[in-house]
Structure 1
């Protein structure tokens, strides 16, 4: 299978549902060996069993990306199982939509911890390995909200996703010629992301928007596969994808 994906070892955070789960299934079907992290161990185990029954290779480790040690342990588990790491997909994310004046600082902290620090912990866990191996690929999931601010309500969320794009671009410059870097920026995609808002009114608005417009998570999985499958000399640095009907 010469698709540029078969045999590669891919770490995926937030793999128990949504984009992470779809990406795990899609890449495993293309021959990747997947290393799956999320907080819900029962769902991870079920996903690993599904992939193995379909003939794929997968391992998992319960992982909260706000813990640097747990992210490092996830990467270590993949390396122990498969001998190397070729790609990390920093996918875990939280979207807590609410107007700033509600002062939901706990939600702000959680978004910063998951969406920004979780990405940084993923990068930190793989960079030494990639340098030892002489190559690797970091894929960070940003958002169209990282291209323009979603307000009112999404100001802090947009801030975290702008940060993911900035981190991705800085990493690309620093590691040019050594590590490929891709920022994926989806619009509304079917996932649990709309469930993150503590403000009932904002949550209802977001859920209605997603019900009307969201595209399947597999659309993002295919974009990720496209980036991974390129020849080593080619880096897909940025992919923006939206539902055709989405104007934001």
Structure 2
């Protein structure tokens, strides 16, 4: 895990989708680096378990129930973090779903779900955190896109569209905002997670078995985020692609 930092470099970080997978790994790495981490997701029991485990390991963590598709709830969580800690330094907008299917399957409810979580969830986070970042004169948006933001594969048309949207959105945000607000987009390749387990289309689910054969641990993404967050304020790590060495393409 990351080397601990002194109190002066300690940041308050909100991580969404932190109940498992990449979000949990990011929270653990940032806590190990000495930051206070607020874990947010819908599964409150799992959040409490992870936060308690971080605390037992000597880290600082708390949790908050959050559905990122609810803009008002997102704003309330951010305001509660600022009220308790005096500031929010980093938002890791990690929540995401990957409901792959052939376009002809017309699983339009799953298309809408991916847009709601993967795109609108990030927009809600920006809207909730940005006023605080601007008021305090600093802040850092970190988003989890995907290798799917850079390439499209069969059954992933809508998923890749949402992840490309996140990539484009954050590049636009970076250009719009003052340099005191940093922006990092992390694009993971195949990572061990629960994402593929939510696919309902049989053909897409079967195709994922071989595609995900060379998955890497989510801690690899956690280390990438910890690196970007730990850089000095005048260094903006805009984009990181992290994938298995064996992933070709």
Shorter chain as denominator, the TM-score bin is over 0.9
What's 2:244 paired with? Answer: 243
Give CA-to-partner distance per residue, 1:41-81, whole Å, 9 cap, x none.
00001111111122221111111111111211221232233
Q: Give 1:107 deviation, angstroms.
A: 0.3
Of the candidates 66, 70, 73, which is equivalent to residue 67 of structure 1?
70
Is this contact kept in 2: 1:4–1:229, CA < 8 A?
A: no
Secondary structure of residue in 2 paired with 1:213: coil
Q: Counterparts of 1:5-154 in structure 2 under 5 Å? A: 6-150=9-153, 152-154=154-156
The answer to whether 1:200 aligns with 2:202 is yes
Secondary structure of residue in 2 paired with 1:52: helix
Secondary structure of residue in 2 paired with 1:221: helix
Runs of 4+ residues deviating >6 angstroms: none
Is this contact kept in 2: 1:190–1:214, CA < 8 A?
A: yes
Is this contact kept in 2: 1:139–1:182, CA < 8 A?
A: yes
User: Structure 2: how far apart are the matches of 1:46 and 1:225?
Assistant: 22
User: Structure 2: how far apart are the matches of 1:23 and 1:146?
Assistant: 20
Give CA-to-partner distance per residue, 1:149-206, whole Å, 9 cap, x none.
12x1000000000000001100000014131001100100011111221102211221
TM-score by length of 2: 0.95
User: Structure 2: how far apart are the matches of 1:78 and 1:136?
Assistant: 14
User: Structure 2: how far apart are the matches of 1:2 and 1:43?
Assistant: 27
The answer to whether 1:188 aligns with 2:216 is no
Unaligned runs of 5+ in 1: none
Secondary structure of residue in 1 paired with 2:141: strand
What's 1:230 paired with? Answer: 231
TM-score by length of 1: 0.95
Secondary structure of residue in 2 paired with 1:239: strand
The answer to whether 1:169 aligns with 2:171 is yes
The 1:3/1:186 distance shift into structure 2, 3 A limit, reads: farther
Q: Give 1:147 deviation, angstroms.
A: 0.6
What's 1:214 paired with? Answer: 215
